[in-house]
Amino acid sequence: MQRPPILGTRASPLALAQARTVAAALEAAHGWAPGFVQLRPVRTSGDRIQDRPLAEVGGKGLWTKELDQYLLGGETDLSVHSMKDVESVRPEALTIAAMLPRADVRDRLIGAASIDALSQGARVGTSSPRRTAQLLRLRPDLQVAPIRGNVATRLAKIVAGEFDATFLAAAGLDRLGIKEGCPIEPAAMLPAPAQAAIGAECRSDDEVMRPLLLAINHAPTCAAVYAERAFARAVGGSCHSPVAALAVRGADERLWLRAELLSSDGLDHVTGQVRFAPGDDAPEQMARDLLERAPPSVRMLFA
Alpha-carbon span 43 to 19, nearest angstrom: 14
Alpha-carbon span 64 to 91, nearest angstrom: 11
Alpha-carbon span 204 to 69, nearest angstrom: 14
159: buried, middle or exposed (CB in 10 Å: 19+, 13-18, 0-12)? exposed
Radius of gyration of the chain (CA): 19
**To which H or E segment does residue 87 belong?**
none
Q: Is 85 a catalytic residue?
A: yes
**Residue 281 CA to its chain's centroid (Å):** 22
What ranges make up the beta strands (E) of 6-156? 6-10, 38-42, 78-82, 94-99, 107-110, 123-125, 143-145
CB 45 within 8 A of CB 62: yes
Q: Point out the catalytic residue in the list 85, 107, 164, 206.
A: 85
Residues with a catalytic annotation lie at: 85
